[in-house]
Chains A and B, each alone.
Chain A
Amino acid sequence: MILFRIFREVLRRPLGVLSAGVLIALYTAALLADVLAPYATNEQDLERTYHPPTALVWHDGSLQVQAYELVDPTEAKYAAVVGQSYPLRWWGQGFEYRFLGLFKTQRHLLTIDGAEGRLYLLGSDSTGRDVFSRLLYGARVSLFIGLLGITITTTLGFLVGGLSGYFGGRFDFVAMRCVEFMMAMPGLYLLLALRSALAPHFESDQMFFVIVVILSLIGWAGTARVLRGMTLSIRQHQYVMAAESMGQSPLVILRRHVLPNLVSYLLVAATLSIPGYILGEAALSFLGLGIQEPSASWGLMLSQAQDVKVFYLNFWWLLTPGFAIFVTVIAYNILGDVLRDIVDPKMKTR
């Protein structure tokens, strides 16, 4: 199996192991968000808005969370209360959730003892919600939108590109003019226009799918164009002609004889274009046109950081979603390059 062989090759390269490891860790964290997050997405605490990250101190032989008090409410200044701290508890009780949709539980990896204190590993936002917890829940949206989007785009691109490369003629002409049309539009402009037309017809919790569909509608054109060219050259091979003369239907030929030749290209192209979807979602949500409150997504969280108050009072922890996006994108880019080196050593740039 070619995918298995490629995977083994990835594990032989240090950069491959690093990037794949980072991605696996990110996706696992997103899946286990309920367990890892100390608070629910919307657990507000209006007494503690823009709280800085809480320090962890060693006290009484255990790891404890430093206690803070509000010094200046207008500037959201907090000061550590000397000598007061709350013990951290591993695997303690918190809000109730369904573990992977299977059974109900209240256990969380990290909770805090004492109703007074709050555990803010990465600070709190304008309504006192825990940024760390929201980052984990936001990862679900931001990370899986890429996977879902690329699946739709690749399928659509393969169908259009494969069929037009295989049949040629009028179908090819129409399909390629459509592709050129799509590629001639500035992507973000089209994104905005599509979103403003589609959004009013959907509920806000369906927004996730609306965005996936919009991003895929824009993204398929490039894939289709490349796949058409590859199909054109593959169909000249004798085994395709043999299959044709045996009377196999075009769809079967595309799936059984053409697709296996494209797998390695598709793998590389998909890995390198997933960041585009993650960035697209982030940009839309950032503009307030994507995922809506109270759901969380990295782009939506970043849009909170656009407040003048945040700039001047240096609430830097509100920028962490941006770093999360950065880490994800760089991991995908490195993995994509590693995959390309494996699949096609001629294209190697180093």
Chain B
Amino acid sequence: MERRIVVGATNTMIAFILRRLLTLIPLLLGITMLVFILMSLAPGDFLTPVKAQRDVPAELIQAIETEFGLDRPWYIQYVKWLGNVVQGNLGHSWAYKLPVVDLIGQRLWATFLLSLAAFVFAWGVAIPLGVLAAIYKDSIFDRIVSALAYAALSVPEFFLALLFVFLAAQTGWFPLGGATSIEYDYLSFAGKCADRAYHLILPTLALGIGSIASIMRIMRANFLDTIRAEFVTTARAKGLSEFVVMFKHVLRNAINPLVSSFGFAFSGLLSGALMVEIVLQYPGLGQLMYQSILREDQFVVLASVMMGCSMLVFGNLLADVLLAWSDPRIRLEKKK
């Protein structure tokens, strides 16, 4: 992907988005094929545990084996699987006894909610902190915040999650895990929302704290760079108040480079969410992926890898579009 500085038009933007979405196809093909090969290298298949269950009739197993070509080499299985996927059939999960589409649907929602919450939390805290640290550079506040950011950057997410579980168990202030309480189904709508939010607090903190630190450091550095720019001197010379200079002129320019890291931030959250979900037993995509790898629930693994990658690509795409929107100097243009 290249960015050129030209006069932009909505058409180029749409073409750009379409082109990026098209690159998703070879990417997903490659990744699913990789996963297919990897899983066929591992001994046994997802029918091994099923065959051991007595309540599954042999005819059904036979039917599934032929439907997905399990008795054939991996490339034929892959083509069969692809054919099913194109028709919207992602297969069946043996561990959960559910169609994969339904399963992924629930989990994707949960992970998306968690990532979004962590994202809003991290950016909401990090940007004001970064700005304040830059304005009051070298003050005690700046030093304390920078030191804390350093510490936060170095704590592994799963360890933080583990510490939170300790906290929850010792104090009883927070639920020990999960996304909802047992009585969730009997709550009113507002009660349901509150219950979900209550369960989201710890995972959000565990996931968000690491990214607060990195966003804050970038924000502070950008802000300091922008303060030295000549247009800031001009604005001050015009007699504008310091508040207007800082928040209208400096902040708007300093935040641009951050927007481009949006996509990376999102992808980082997705990967990090896996560990946090497992430790805090949050029923999201990462936890599903982990459990299905352990159980060789092949179709679930494939589908969750596909979802994970797609979310990543969408995150990056969103970042580019946002950047073009927030900075008029950047327009997305065709590759030369």
Contacts and interface: CB of A to CB of B under 8 A. Distances in A.
A185 interface: yes
Interface string A293-318: 00000000010011010011010100
Interface stretch (B118-126, B163-171, B249-257, B319-327): B163-171
A311 B313 CA distance: 38
Interface string A277-300: 001001100110000000000000
B153 A333 contact: yes
Contacts of B42: 196-197, 199-200
Given A184-B312, A333-B150, A333-B153, A189 B274 contact: yes
Interface string B122-152: 0000000000000000000000001000110
B38 interface: yes
A236 interface: no
Contacts of A306: 162, 165, 279
A186 B267 CA distance: 7
Nearest to A325: B156
Contacts of A319: 159, 162-163, 166
B237 interface: no
A330 B150 contact: yes
Contact of B270 (A181, A186, A326, A349): A186
A115 to B, nearest CB: 35
B154 A193 contact: no
Contacts of A325: 156, 159
Interface of chain B: mostly helix, strand, loop or mixed: helix
A302 B162 contact: yes
Contact of A311 (B31, B153, B156, B169): B169
A138 to B, nearest CB: 14
Given A192-B290, A306-B279, A319-B166, A275 B154 contact: yes
Given A316-B166, A319-B162, A192 B155 contact: no
Given A286-B158, A322-B159, A349-B217, A186 B153 contact: no
Contacts of B296: 196
A315 B176 CA distance: 17
A180 to B, nearest CB: 8
B42, B159, B289: most-surrounded residue (chain A CB, <10 A)? B159
Contacts of A187: 271
Contacts of B312: 184-186
Contact of A192 (B34, B176, B289): B289
Pairs A-B, 3 closest by C-beta atoms: A311-B169, A197-B38, A330-B154
17 contacts: A184-B27, A185-B305, A188-B275, A189-B304, A196-B293, A197-B37, A283-B275, A287-B290, A306-B165, A311-B169, A311-B170, A312-B169, A314-B166, A316-B166, A322-B162, A329-B154, A329-B155
